[in-house]
Structure 1
Amino acid sequence: MVSQPSRRIVRGALVATAAVVAAALPTAPATAQPNAADALKKYNELQEQASKLNQDHLKVQDDLKAKQGELDKAKGDLANAQKAEETLRGQVDLLTEATNSGANFSQISALLVSDSQQDFLNRMSAINILAADNAEALQKLTDAVNAADNATKTATEATETSKKLLAEMDQKKADLDKQLADAKKVYDGLSSTVKNQMLQNGDMSNISVPAGAAGRALQFALDQRGKPYVYGSNGPNSWDCSSLIQKAYASAGVSIGRTSYAQAAAGRSVGRGEVKAGDIIVYYSSQSHVAMAVDGIRAVHASTEGVPVKIADIDSIGPISVIRRVEG
């Protein structure tokens, strides 16, 4: 039978041993790791949102340029109409002056002053010609001015709408930039191993490309590997996802839109099993990210801030929305 003092000694030893084991367990890292993973996940989510906002922002800029072009054309039309007005008004004034001076007679006055039936017919013909010319000149003048005024009004309203949208996008971008800055503070606390993995250039080997525009575009995109992603950048030292694709095809002599939205409508649609080098792969239901196929398995893309242009597995980039073939 164990004595009471012996029981106390055993219990004391067990407590001491448990304390040592508890102190040795990596409780802090176990708690920190899920937080780090959550932070990285949140960071990636915010970057995806930023990519969409970036494309929205670029689209509004394109819309604004288009509307400004319409406005410039409308102003040109108005200027031409004003010149035409001066000419036509001069013609109308001459006709009016002729009327006031008695050249444009009424049918009764023409009859009264006519020397003969032929003279009367000649005078009536002159009256009809003057009246027709007057009406035609006035109608042309009215139509030209009204058309130009309407075009200017429409283009001005459209431009104001685009400006409001652009201001809204700027505000959204500013709000998101703040969120990204907050997320990056946590991201900066991640292990150097994780951050170094993100900064890796990936496969930098020489890759053979097919002949034709698609091959030349792919070669351009591959040559950009290692360059940083910057929102709204148009190269040549940094890119966003859609500027890389646009400039790649521009280098091959093919013009496509600036945004991933426009690129999602370029060329023709192909299925996932048909993918070949140079195809444009658009991701997410929002169509806010785009990459270029290297082959049926890999794609090169400017993915997100903090990650250089690199090659990745096509299906690992995100859910595919549409695949477009520009050539062939």
Structure 2
Amino acid sequence: MVSQPSRRTVRGALVATAAVVAAALPTAPATAQPSAADALKKYNELSEQASKLNQDHLKAQGDLAAKQGELDKAKGDLAVAQKAEESLRGQVDLLTEATNSGARFSQISALLVSDSQQDFLNRMSAINILAADNAEALQKLQDAVNAADNATKTANEATEVSKKLLAEIDAKKAELDKQLADAKAQYNSLSASVRKQLANSGDMSNISVPAGTAGKALEFALAQRGKDYVYGSNGPDTWDCSSLIQKAYAYAGVSIGRTSYAQAAAGRQVSVSEIKAGDIIVYYSSQSHVAMAVDGIRAVHASTEGVPVKIADIQSIGPISVVRRIEG
């Protein structure tokens, strides 16, 4: 079973942590205190906005990859159709050549040159077969041409969509870079003592996990404590919030989406009162941040730049949007 400290113990620890941060803020002159507090608040706001943009950027990349797959398939369909068209056109040309050279017979010529009734029937059967083959080849040729046209149209449409998605990604990346720069500047404006407190890895003690998939995923997530947060990182030395959760469940043998948006739809929904180890907790109305429950009180998460992967009180991370359970 997961170690579950009492709420009084956890809340007491949080109060103590808050006292440390408060004590780290300058006390003279008096007007400096609100400035440092405002800087910390602004940094948290910018970090949350940057986190959402990061998830948007990742989603756009995923959409582009999907459209590129559609484009590749369309190009493959086009190549197949063109090959079929070339092959069938050759077959039709051979039949046409045979017709022009007199290899095919009309009903009258077949009657005139036949030695017997059976010979006539054989010749007429051959004529009908050639005619049917010709008609079938022509129809197949037309179908192949139509398929090639449709594949071309699909490929062109997919290409245009991909171009638009690429432009969207570039725009989001530029916006993300600006938000990251703002958040970094706000972080740098904090006092050295506050930054040191933020960079603290928190509880690094050994925590037991339950058996099963959720426990294995939690084991992985807990092992990442102390590692740096980097926007868009996929590990193994640095993480963003959703890559940590994705890789944790991959370690447990379960594939889930890369973004917090995808993870907000993974598994099944449970209530906040039902939270247990391994549950995915999605935060904010934008669903731009995720954490993994350690128990009903704590969660481990990669929060933002300048703050390592660490354990925090579930409610202190932010407003909960949805809780998803992958196992059970």
Shift of 1:145: 4.2
**Partner in structure 1 of residue 248 of structure 2:** 248
CA RMSD of aligned residues (A): 2.5
Quick one: which amino acid aligns to residue 141 of structure 2?
Answer: L
Query: After the TM superposition, which of the residue ranges 49-58 and 99-108 deviates more from structure 2?
Result: 99-108
Query: After the TM superposition, which of the residue ranges 249-258 and 143-152 deviates more from structure 2?
Result: 143-152
Shift of 1:80: 2.6
**Partner in structure 1 of residue 228 of structure 2:** 228
Distance 2:157 2:29 in 1: 58
Distance 2:154 2:276 in 1: 44
TM-score, structure 2 length as denominator? 0.83
Q: Which runs of 5+ in 2 are unaligned?
A: 1-25
Shift of 1:77: 2.6
**Partner in structure 2 of residue 273 of structure 1:** 273
**Partner in structure 2 of residue 125 of structure 1:** 125
Distance 2:133 2:304 in 1: 67
Shift of 1:270: 1.6
Q: Which runs of 5+ in 1 are unaligned?
A: 1-25
Quick one: which amino acid aligns to residue 203 of structure 1?
Answer: D
1:118-160, Cα deviation, whole Å (9 max, x unpaired): 5554444333322222222233333334334423432442343
Q: Is the 8 A contact 2:276 2:293 kept in 1?
A: yes
**Partner in structure 1 of residue 11 of structure 2:** none
2:284 aligned with 1:284: yes
**Partner in structure 1 of residue 299 of structure 2:** 299
**Partner in structure 2 of residue 57 of structure 1:** 57
Return closer, same or farther for 1:272/1:182 CA change in 2, 3 Å cut-off: closer
Q: Between the two structures, name the one with larger relative contact order (CA 8 Å, sep ≥ 6).
A: 2
**Partner in structure 2 of residue 315 of structure 1:** 315
Larger radius of gyration: 1
Shift of 1:239: 0.4
Quick one: which amino acid aligns to residue 323 of structure 1?
Answer: V
TM-score, structure 1 length as denominator? 0.83
Query: After the TM superposition, which of the residue ranges 172-181 and 248-257 deviates more from structure 2?
Result: 172-181
SS for the counterpart of 1:29 is coil
**Partner in structure 1 of residue 184 of structure 2:** 184
**Partner in structure 2 of residue 81 of structure 1:** 81
Query: After the TM superposition, which of the residue ranges 227-236 and 261-270 deviates more from structure 2?
Result: 261-270
Return closer, same or farther for 1:276/1:27 CA change in 2, 3 Å cut-off: closer
Return closer, same or farther for 1:112/1:265 CA change in 2, 3 Å cut-off: farther
Return closer, same or farther for 1:108/1:225 CA change in 2, 3 Å cut-off: same
Aligned residues, how many?
Answer: 303
Between the two proteins, what is the percent identity of the paired residues? 86
Return closer, same or farther for 1:267/1:159 CA change in 2, 3 Å cut-off: farther
**Partner in structure 2 of residue 195 of structure 1:** 195
Shift of 1:257: 1.3
Q: Is the 8 A contact 1:281 1:324 kept in 2?
A: yes
Shift of 1:309: 0.5
**Partner in structure 1 of residue 140 of structure 2:** 140
**Partner in structure 2 of residue 3 of structure 1:** none
Query: After the TM superposition, which of the residue ranges 113-122 and 47-56 deviates more from structure 2?
Result: 113-122
Shift of 1:66: 1.9
**Partner in structure 1 of residue 151 of structure 2:** 151
Return closer, same or farther for 1:28/1:172 CA change in 2, 3 Å cut-off: farther
**Partner in structure 2 of residue 40 of structure 1:** 40
Distance 2:169 2:33 in 1: 35
Query: After the TM superposition, which of the residue ranges 302-311 and 100-109 deviates more from structure 2?
Result: 100-109
Quick one: which amino acid aligns to residue 181 of structure 1?
Answer: A
